[in-house]
Amino acid sequence: MASRTPKSEFRTPNLNRITGLLLRWFSANARELPWRRTRDPYAIWVSEIMLQQTQVKTVIPYWTAWMAELPTVAAVAKASPDKIHKLWEGLGYYSRARNLQQAARQIVEKHGGKFPAHFDDVLALPGIGRYTAGAICSIAFNQPTPILDGNVIRVLTRVFGTSKNPKEKETNAQLWKLAEALVASAAKYRTTRSSQRKEAHSKTGNSQSLLTSAATRARNYSALNQSLMELGALVCTPRNPQCGICPAQKLCVAFRENRVAELPNLGKRDAATARHFVAFVAERNGHFLVRQRPADVVNAHLWEFPNMEILNGKFNPNLAAKSALGVEPSSLQPLCTVKHSITRYRITLEAFRVNLKRTRKIRLSEIGVWRTPAQLQQLAFTAAHGKILRSTSHHGPVPKSAGR
């Protein structure tokens, strides 16, 4: 059974051999993940959206809490935006959560609440691109839909030894064709009886290996795609890949030619840009001043303390507080500094606790709202401002004359 990769600079290890190696390896090494215990397309969809840009160990508690609170598409469609944001708080990239809800509402309207099984219908939903549609259709419905994300790109460029930049249109299209050929080749693969026995008694002791029965063998498309994801996440990692235990090692062009560290060739990265913000935690009679971010900015709809960007390096905290709050503080004290990154920005956020002279003069419609600590717990804060909120509980009130 000769197989061919697309015409390109990709070397051509035998696709069927790679498929067989990947399926056997996945059968014996697949991690026990909560969303792998179900074929509910809704549950798999939620896991795939959460896993975008986010590690498995971070996602597990979020997915578990989400599924407990919102067990169906209809429940997501009906939930309040505040509830959606609160369940997503800390996961980042909040547009994912808003798209999930929009998509859930579309599923209710167009598909009667049943998650669609056709690739084109899945792809048409908000927040679902070709990779996610391919992942859902292959994992939930065992369709031969290819997947290609950063992990899979890394595995394929190394195994097939391409030094072209996978972000380039033509190379990217070739990688998609390769992923398509790989998943399609999984249909031909059958585990042998001896390999089944071996898997069943593998050192993992996992007697429920995914490919040890005829019924589970029929799910080869799902297993093949998941094996690529798993290999990229656990073995063929960006740094220090574990070639010594890799199932694809004997066919891997990059390994054979000692080019593993060079691939994938992602070109030059844009240098990170440093940005500096200051935030002010104002308290009045046990209430804190907070505001909600507008709809058209990063972290839209999430909550934060009044803040501003410092553009010229040095700043006067009192003047900055007056600018951010509309009134001059009577005292001010450093609270904490939070460092984090968003896309290509490295952000330093300095927080101060402030006492205000004339809180009535604050134009609340512009600056924010007063909320009790109990009310703040119900709001979804940006990750950085959530850290500031937590640090407020570790500090007492601001001394009346501090910082002046």
**Which residues contact ligand SF4 (rule: CB under 6 A)?**
155, 158-159, 235-236, 241-243, 246, 248-249, 252, 254-255, 260
**Measured from the CB of residue 187, what is the shortest distance to ligand SF4 in angstroms?**
23
Matching residue, tokens 């959460």: 50
**Measured from the CB of residue 217, what is the shortest distance to ligand SF4 in angstroms?**
24
Residue 11 is given by DSSP the state -
Q: Report yes or no: 142 and 218 within 8 Å, Cβ to Cβ.
A: yes
> Which CB atom, from 25 or from 45, has the smaller least distance to ligand SF4?
25
**Measured from the CB of residue 89, what is the shortest distance to ligand SF4 in angstroms?**
35
> Which CB atom, from 28 or from 336, has the smaller least distance to ligand SF4?
28
The DSSP H or E segment spanning 217 is helix 214-217
Q: Report yes or no: 39 and 226 within 8 Å, Cβ to Cβ.
A: no
> Which CB atom, from 254 or from 349, has the smaller least distance to ligand SF4?
254
Q: Is 168 a catalytic residue?
A: no
**Measured from the CB of residue 206, what is the shortest distance to ligand SF4 in angstroms?**
22
**Measured from the CB of residue 147, what is the shortest distance to ligand SF4 in angstroms?**
16
**51 vs 66: CA distance, rounded Å:** 13
Q: Name the β-bridge partners of 38.
A: none
Q: Report yes or no: 325 and 354 within 8 Å, Cβ to Cβ.
A: yes
Two structure tokens written together for 72: 């169906």
Question: Dihedral through CA 95, CA 98, CA 103, CA 109, nearest 10?
Answer: -150
Write down the catalytic residue from 48, 89, 230, 350: 48
> Which CB atom, from 171 or from 212, has the smaller least distance to ligand SF4?
171
Two structure tokens written together for 323: 């600018």
Cα angle at 117 between 172 and 36, to 5 degrees? 80
Provide φ and ψ at 306, rounded to 5°. -55, 135
If one counts every other C-beta atom within 10 angstroms of the C-beta of residue 396, the result is 8
If one counts every other C-beta atom within 10 angstroms of the C-beta of residue 267, the result is 9
**Measured from the CB of residue 152, what is the shortest distance to ligand SF4 in angstroms?**
11
> Which CB atom, from 115 or from 160, has the smaller least distance to ligand SF4?
160
User: Which amino acid does the sequence have at 109?
Assistant: E
Cα angle at 51 between 53 and 191, to 5 degrees? 125
Q: Report yes or no: 108 and 77 within 8 Å, Cβ to Cβ.
A: yes
**322 vs 339: CA distance, rounded Å:** 24
**Measured from the CB of residue 250, what is the shortest distance to ligand SF4 in angstroms?**
8
Q: Where are the alpha helices (DSSP H) in 71-129?
A: 73-78, 81-88, 95-111, 119-123
Residue 368 gets the label, from left (phi > 0), alpha (psi -120 to 50) or beta, of left
Q: Report yes or no: 378 and 82 within 8 Å, Cβ to Cβ.
A: yes
**Measured from the CB of residue 185, what is the shortest distance to ligand SF4 in angstroms?**
17
Q: Which residues are catalytic?
A: 48
